[in-house]
Every structure is written in structure tokens, then in C-alpha cells.
Amino acid sequence: MNSLGIFAAPGKPAASELARRIIALSEAAGLAVKIQSRLAGELNRADLGRDNDEEIAAGDVLVTLGGDGAVLVAARAAACSQTPILAIDLGRLGFLSAVRPTELETAFFQLLRGELIAEERMMLEARVLRARPGQRGEANETTGVLPVAREDVGGGIGLNDAVVAKSALARILRLSVFLDGELVAETRADGLIVATPTGSTAYALSAGGPIVHPAVPLLLVCPICAHSLAQRPLVVGPQETVEIHAEWDGDEVASSELEAMLTIDGQIGVRLQPGDIVQVRQAKCAARLLHLPGYSFYDRLREKMGWG
């Protein structure tokens, strides 16, 4: 092990002090350290600061100081390089964090000795496909086959979920869901969540979805506040592609501007236009999260959910 990167969540006073301790431990062990420029300014260590998250994440390990949100940022930055992530818990829930601040030194030396356990987590990729100007053909209502005249206008990868939801007006969305080109459901709801197993304990859980062990490969499709008791979460295979067509419910608003967005991990947003198609599939890359020896998902679940 030769290098280490640090991501620190902004606005957390404990993060700067913990970063200072990690830098001291790393330099004493002869490791090269890279940190965010903002953090470098707070610590008066401009020599370590970098502006590019992917550069910071391209070392042998990436340490996050914050809550689950910091881990989500780190997972996207480290995805291409497959850098393992060691998460120090400074958040409220901490489903993704592996180490408490009081365990920092112990975890660091276990890291150096190669004793931490790397767990691979499935990620997803969501893209917005939009008809080119002057070529606004719609997808076939039966097969869901995409028209030729569409282009990718934005999106990205995520560890938790991709969400299509209304962004402003209190109207109901009419959502059509296709799996590998086949129409599966039409629902009226506030939105729709497509989650990974990791994301099953995030927004999808609040929407009534099941809790899924991170090792189970699947995509979870959950309506948000569906206007029908018949609508239920749907579990699909990781090889399937989920397509979502969103429009306002009701003929009187069908032609109005669509106040809806695709959000990925609650951190990346793409505003949708009428006729857009959101396509979600398993990402080609995966996140690697480090845990202390003896870590158990069920222990963490029992602790965080208060199950006794």
C-alpha cells in the first residue's frame, strides 16, 4: 500500500480533526496523501490538495469522513479505478459507514496489515434519452422500442438509487414502466424509485420497499405514493433494463411543461422534458466497501433499525 485519498463532508467540525489524524498516521507510514482542495485549505496543507475527485480516489484506498452521503460521492469517484472505500461514520444513520471515530487508529493499522474485508456493492447507471429537435417520435406503446432519433442528454452512476419524481407542482405523474422493452405497469404516483440492494435501506425503504441483503443481485422498482392500492414494489433481475416514461396525469395538463427530474443518489439531477425516457440498468463498475473483521450486515441492520 502506497497511497491514500481523503474525502471529508463539508460542515462537519469533526471531519477536519479526523483528517489531520489520518494524514499524520499516513505520512508516518510513508503513504502519499491526496485530499480535497477545500479540506487542504482548512488544514493549511495546500501541498496535499487536489481539485479532481477521481484523482484523489485513484490511490490504494479512499477514506471518507461523513455520513452515507459522503460514501455515495466516493463510490462514484472511485468506481472506474475500483479503489476500496473506508468510511468513518460521522452521520446520523450510517448504514454504509464501517468505522466509528473512536476506532480510527485501530482500523488504520488493520488497513496497513491487509486485515480489512472488501465487499463489492452493485451500482446502477441512469440516463435520460431525449428526441432530437424536430424529431419527437414517441416510443412504441406496446413494445417500448426506442425511436432512432434520441440522444443521451445526461445521467450518471449511483450506489443507492435513481428516482424519477415531480420537482415542484403538486400534480400526479403518469408513469409507464418497461422492462427490456416490454410494458410492465402504468401507474399514477408522485414518482418512481429504481434502487440497488444497497439502496433498499435508503429512499426505497421509506416508499415501502423491502430490505435486501447487499450481496443479492437485483434492481428494486418502487412507486412513490402510488394512487392505487394495487401498486407494489417490483424486484427484477440485474440484467434487465428499466425504462420509465413520465408525463402529467390528465388530458388538461398533458401538453404543459413537465416539472419532473431524474435524481441519482439524491446528488445528481437532470430536469426532464415531455417525451423523455429514463433508462436504468446495472452499471458496469461496482463499489468496494471496506469493513472491519467480523462485520455483519444483519448486526448493522439490527442496530440501525432498533430491532433489539
d(CA 302, CA 60): 32
Of the residues 51, 60, 68, 180, which is catalytic? 68
d(CA 155, CA 188): 24
Neighbours of 80 (CB within 10 A): 13
Asked about 53 being catalytic, the answer comes back as: no
Q: Which residues are CB-neighbours of 243 under 8 A, at least 6 positions away?
A: 139, 144, 146, 177, 178, 179, 181, 277, 278, 279, 280
d(CA 238, CA 198): 13
Among all residues, which ones are annotated catalytic? 68
